[in-house]
């Protein structure tokens, strides 16, 4: 009887606890929005479980005291997915994810998980977890795995079975991190609408790209009620912007811009000074362009302090209430931000073992310098 009673208590108590946790997350989000008019965001590659203490130190001892108030954690397939264990994801588990969220919240930082959708499904010859397990989703299966010309593989935007799996993964990350927003990546997509894909050939690339954005939006914003962020390079016309084919699109995907919802937050990344781009644009024209189109914009910088300052200045010119702030990206800085912690704390790098380590240390120093310069240019936190 006792056991039955206990079971009954558990059955009734669980939804209450779940609801309490959910409402405390919602309350925290509302408080964060009220207190943070300007985003000072950092993009971090998710740590492994064993590097989690280091990442907590980075957040508590360095990033929060500097004034960072958003942490975009790039998880991708580096997570122990319970919904799809066949992907054999390694990284944080659900408990550790929540720990990271809790540490962020204790320091006033909003955590937003990131999962690369559509593009970046391989790194060169090495497919990511999804295409390793489900090669039928590959947009270009006819290109051999060891082809040197391939940058990153993509999933087929027209495959009817892809979203069933992807939505499960996104749901799991939202729940694990108790997130109120999700970043879906979608940068540097080049292979979309491949002429050999039986489902995509002959279709308009702008239409294909918009289809994926709208389907993700329908699930994340429509069904889950969270905000959606994405890298915005594919929505910019390379011919009009002058950034070249990486930070803007030469595939026709830019035609999707008027076919996607305006409540998506556009992470507009530009890591160089304007005169360093092929078309030598006048400043960073996309920053204003997105606002004029009705989107909220979060301009993103990387490892060049002078470019970070220039981007912050550009973000002020003609800024509307759709200008959110600044995002410092942490590319090539290692999972969990170990290099950045060293660079920001004491700059003390052990004698680098090889050329790769020297490069990593230089990148970490560059990121640290860009954060310091960008925050200084931004000035004191607006409340």
**What is the contact surface with Zn ion in residues (CB under 5 A)?**
139, 156, 158, 197, 199-200
Nearer to Zn ion, 199 or 372 (CB): 199
Q: How far is CA 196 from CA 200, 250, 315, in A?
A: 8, 19, 41
How far is CA 262 from each of CA 215, 230, 330, 336, rounded to the nearest angstrom? 14, 12, 27, 32
Q: Which residues contact 26 (CB under 8 A, 6 or more apart)?
A: 180
Please say whether the beta carbons of 186 and 214 come within 8 A: no
Choice between 200 and 373, CB closer to Zn ion: 200
Please, how many CA atoms are within 13 Å of residue 218, restricted to the half-sphere of its CB?
7
Task: Tell me the closest approach of the beta carbon of residue 89 to Zn ion, in angstroms.
Answer: 24
Strand pairing report for 181-185 and 110-117 = parallel
- Which residue's CB is nearer to Zn ion, number 191 or number 298? 191
The minimum distance between CB 138 and Zn ion, in angstroms, equals: 9
In 3-state terms, what secondary structure has residue 110?
Answer: strand
Min separation Cβ 212 and Zn ion, Å: 11
Q: How far is the CB of 159 from Zn ion (least distance, A)?
A: 7
Nearest-approach distance from CB 94 to Zn ion, in angstroms: 33
Q: Which is nearer to Zn ion, 48 or 140 (CB)?
A: 140
Q: In the chain, which residue ranges form alpha helices assigned H by DSSP? A: 2-35, 52-57, 64-66, 94-106, 129-133, 162-177, 205-217, 238-241, 285-293, 305-316, 338-345, 355-378
CB of 199 to Zn ion, least distance (A): 4
For the bound state, the minimum distance from the C-beta of residue 204 to Zn ion, rounded and expressed in Å, comes to 13
- When the beta carbons of 202 and 380 are compared against Zn ion, the nearer one is 202
DSSP three-state, residue 298? strand
Q: What is the token pair recorded at 152?
A: 């990153």
Considering beta carbons, is residue 156 or 174 the nearer one to Zn ion? Answer: 156
Residues 6+ apart with CB under 8 A from 80: 89, 90, 91, 92, 93, 94
Which residue, 59 or 205, has its beta carbon nearer to Zn ion?
Answer: 205
């Amino acid at each position: 009887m006792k056991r039955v009673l206990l079971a009954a208590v558990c059955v009734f108590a669980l939804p209450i606890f779940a609801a309490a946790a959910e409402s405390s997350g919602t309350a925290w989000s509302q408080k964060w929005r009220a207190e943070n008019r300007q985003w000072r965001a950092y993009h971090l590659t998710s740590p492994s479980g064993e590097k989690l203490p280091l990442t907590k130190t980075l957040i508590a001892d360095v990033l929060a005291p500097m004034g960072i108030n958003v942490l975009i954690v790039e998880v991708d397939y580096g997570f122990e997915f319970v919904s799809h264990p066949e992907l054999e994801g390694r990284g944080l588990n659900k408990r550790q994810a929540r720990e990271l969220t809790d540490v962020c919240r204790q320091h006033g930082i909003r955590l937003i998980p990131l999962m690369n959708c559509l593009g970046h499904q391989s790194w060169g010859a090495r497919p990511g977890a999804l295409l390793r397990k489900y090669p039928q989703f590959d947009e270009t299966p006819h290109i051999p795995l060891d082809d040197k010309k391939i940058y990153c593989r993509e999933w087929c935007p027209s495959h009817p079975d892809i979203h069933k799996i992807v939505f499960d993964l996104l749901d799991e990350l939202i729940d694990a991190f108790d997130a109120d927003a999700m970043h879906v990546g979608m940068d540097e997509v080049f292979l979309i609408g491949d002429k050999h894909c039986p489902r995509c050939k002959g279709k308009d690339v702008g239409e294909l790209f918009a289809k994926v954005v709208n389907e993700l939006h329908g699930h994340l914003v429509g069904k889950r009620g969270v905000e959606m962020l994405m890298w915005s390079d594919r929505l910019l016309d390379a011919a009009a912007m002058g950034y070249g084919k990486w930070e803007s699109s030469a595939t026709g995907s830019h035609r999707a811009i008027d076919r996607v919802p305006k409540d998506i937050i556009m992470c507009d990344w530009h890591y160089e000074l304007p005169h360093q781009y092929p078309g030598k644009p006048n400043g960073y024209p996309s920053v204003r362009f997105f606002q004029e189109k009705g989107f909220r914009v979060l301009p993103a910088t990387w490892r060049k302090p002078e470019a970070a300052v220039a981007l912050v200045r550009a973000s002020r010119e003609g800024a509307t209430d759709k200008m959110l702030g600044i995002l410092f990206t942490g590319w090539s800085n290692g999972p969990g931000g170990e290099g950045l912690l060293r660079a920001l704390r004491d700059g003390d790098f052990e004698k680098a073992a090889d050329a790769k380590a020297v490069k990593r240390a230089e990148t970490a120093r560059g990121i640290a310098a860009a954060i310091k310069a960008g925050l200084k240019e931004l000035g004191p936190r607006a409340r």
